Every structure is written in C-alpha cells, then in structure tokens.
C-alpha cells in the first residue's frame, strides 16, 4: 500500500495513509496493520476535543461498545489506544461506499436492492438490540456497503445500553442527524430500540424516493413541522408495493408503540411475512389509503371551487354581452315591459350542486 503520510500509532504498528472521511468529532484514516499485515481504518479523535472529558468518554464508549460485537453486519473494532494525547480506535476497513454517498451518486435505488440492504440493516440492529444497545444514530452515513454488497453498521459513538438510553448528554443535547431522529429522541426523552427503527424507516424511505421523509437541518425546524403528515411513499414512488409502504410508514409513526416491536419484525414485515402485528400492518395500509384519498379529495374540491369561480366570471361576461346587444338594437334600450324576466340561479348547499345549477341556467338563458 502506497503511503501518503509518515504518521504511525502504537509504536509504529499502524501506518496511517489517506483520510477516508471526517465527522464532527474525529477523522478516519486508511491504515496498515504491520503486525497482522492487513488494511484497517483508524478513527482519531480531533485534537481540539481531546481535552474534553465528555467527548473522551463518548469516544471510549464507542470503542468498548462495538468491541464486544461480532456480527457480519456490524463494523468490527480491533483496538483502542492513546498516543501523544490522541485517542484512536482501530476498526475493520470497509472497502465500499456509505449510503449517503450512494444516494447522491445513484438517486433512488431499485426495490430489490433496497429490501436486501434493509434485511441486512435489520440483522445488524437486531443483534445490537439483543446485546442491550440502542445505536441512536442510524443514518445513511453510518451504513456502509462493501463492494460485494455486504452492509456494515458503523459509529456507535452515541449508543447507550437500554437502561441509559435517555437524554444524550447531561445538558440534554440531542445528537445525530435531525432528518432521521425519532420524535421522542429529538425531544430528549427516553428512547428504546424503536427509535432506531424510526431512523431506519427514514433511511429506507430515502433509498426508495431519493429524499428523506422530512428534510430537516435543525432541531428547531424538526419541532416546528413535527405535526405535519409525511407524504406516503407511493405518492413519490408508485411502484413500491403497498405492504412495503405500510411497513415503512409504521416505522415513522410518532408514537413508538405503533412502530414494529423489533428489527426482526420489521424485516419480516418488509418481506411480506405475517407478524404478530399483522392487524396493525393492515390498519396502517388502510390509514395510508385514507390519507392519500383525503389528499386527492382536497385537490378535487379545490379544482371544483376554481371551476365554480370560472363559471361565475363567464356568467357575468355573458350577461353583459346580452344587455349591451339589446341596447344596441333599440337605440335607447327596450321598454321595461319588453325586457324578458330572467330567473336567478337556484341556490345550493354545496359547490358541486351550485356548479351544476349554473350550467343548467346558462343553457336555458344564454342561448
């Protein structure tokens, strides 16, 4: 491997190469493990944060949490250390692409591929949850896809054991990326594994449509639009099967109790298999249909109102033409007894009936 830096760690064991990426608190380098002769990824805490105890604890927690995991869909942690006041984590090198880069490059993905990636993500999450750990930062940038299409879940930096999964810091600071945060997590409330399922649902929504369900850049923005309904997936991607749409929309429910109970259940529901919440699944499908029908009905009512106004304008124009034409033929106008009496348009209680009444009136009086 060609070296681009002269930096080493652990007494020369890890020879650092190019930077693979940089986040808010660390930079990740490609490196070579000279002892085991293999490529690795080395995550180094930013020097400006090294003296901050909170960030130091979070960095150590990521290492100790992920180091005890051994699963094909979770990035493996090999080593942890400190050198010259620099904290670092040595991890499995994933030769591939993060989902956020994949979406930027390719846009919406084919359904079959999304379902395969979803199944792998569910397997990784189910494993973490069975270890009592809530990831709490599931987003496209933390889901890496190798060249052989194996998905790896990374960055357990803000993960917590179930009993500790409340506010993310003592100050109640909410971390993660706002577009993928469950409402209860954004509010700094206690979270469970279902917060991860919300986030994964948001990721799957984006993979199928090309955009997240809500594109949010700040938590203030999240709070301001939290009550607005999410546009159904099939309105953006009509070829998505109804059961897939309903399952993902369940993940995005504001109430955690309405979401799938586990990542395993989510995977089964996406595959169309019956689950313990089949009834909820059917209810969710029906609710999505109702939402779509209401949106279409409202659009129809708006169109009807526009047509009603157009008819009124037409009526005014026709009436004016008739009056002017009558005056033109008689010079000074017809005598009062010679002007035919025109009945008013019958009233109606709804716009549709009123429009029909106007049409009938025009046929009878504008000929």
Answer yes or no: 137 catalytic: yes
Given the structure tokens 């991890």, which residue do they identify?
91
Write down the catalytic residue from 17, 137, 155, 196. Answer: 137
Active-site positions read 137
């Amino acid at each position: 491997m060609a070296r681009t830096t002269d930096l080493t760690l652990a007494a020369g064991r890890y020879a650092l190469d190019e930077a693979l990426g940089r986040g808010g608190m660390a930079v990740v380098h490609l490196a070579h493990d000279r002892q085991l002769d293999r490529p690795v990824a080395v995550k180094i805490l930013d020097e400006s944060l090294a003296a901050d105890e909170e960030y130091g604890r979070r960095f150590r927690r990521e290492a100790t949490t992920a180091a005890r995991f051994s699963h094909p869909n979770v990035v493996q942690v090999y080593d942890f250390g400190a050198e010259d006041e620099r904290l670092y984590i040595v991890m499995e090198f994933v030769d591939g692409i993060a989902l956020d880069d994949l979406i930027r490059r390719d846009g919406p993905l084919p359904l079959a591929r999304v379902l395969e990636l979803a199944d792998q993500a569910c397997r990784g999450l189910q494993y973490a949850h069975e270890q009592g750990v809530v990831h709490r930062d599931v987003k496209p940038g933390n889901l890496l896809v190798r060249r052989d299409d194996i998905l790896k879940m990374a960055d357990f930096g803000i993960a917590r054991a179930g009993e500790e999964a409340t506010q993310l810091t003592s100050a109640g600071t909410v971390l993660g990326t706002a577009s993928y945060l469950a409402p209860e997590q954004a509010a700094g409330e206690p979270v469970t594994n279902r917060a991860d399922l919300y986030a994964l649902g948001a990721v799957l929504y984006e993979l199928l449509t090309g955009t997240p369900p809500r594109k949010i850049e700040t938590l203030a923005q999240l709070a301001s639009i939290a009550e607005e309904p999410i546009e159904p997936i099939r309105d953006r991607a009509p070829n998505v099967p109804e059961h897939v749409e309903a399952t993902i929309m369940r993940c995005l429910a504001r109430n955690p109790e309405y979401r799938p109970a586990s990542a395993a259940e989510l995977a089964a529901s996406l595959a169309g298999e019956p689950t313990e919440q089949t009834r909820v699944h059917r209810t969710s499908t029906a609710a999505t249909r109702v939402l779509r029908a209401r949106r279409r009905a409202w659009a129809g009512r708006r169109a009807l109102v526009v047509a009603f106004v157009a008819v009124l304008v037409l009526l005014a124009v026709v009436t004016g033409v008739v009056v002017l034409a009558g005056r033109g033929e008689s010079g000074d106008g017809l005598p009062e007894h010679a002007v035919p009496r025109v009945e008013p348009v019958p009233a109606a209680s709804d716009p549709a009936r009123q429009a029909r009444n106007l049409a009938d009136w025009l046929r009878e009086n504008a000929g």
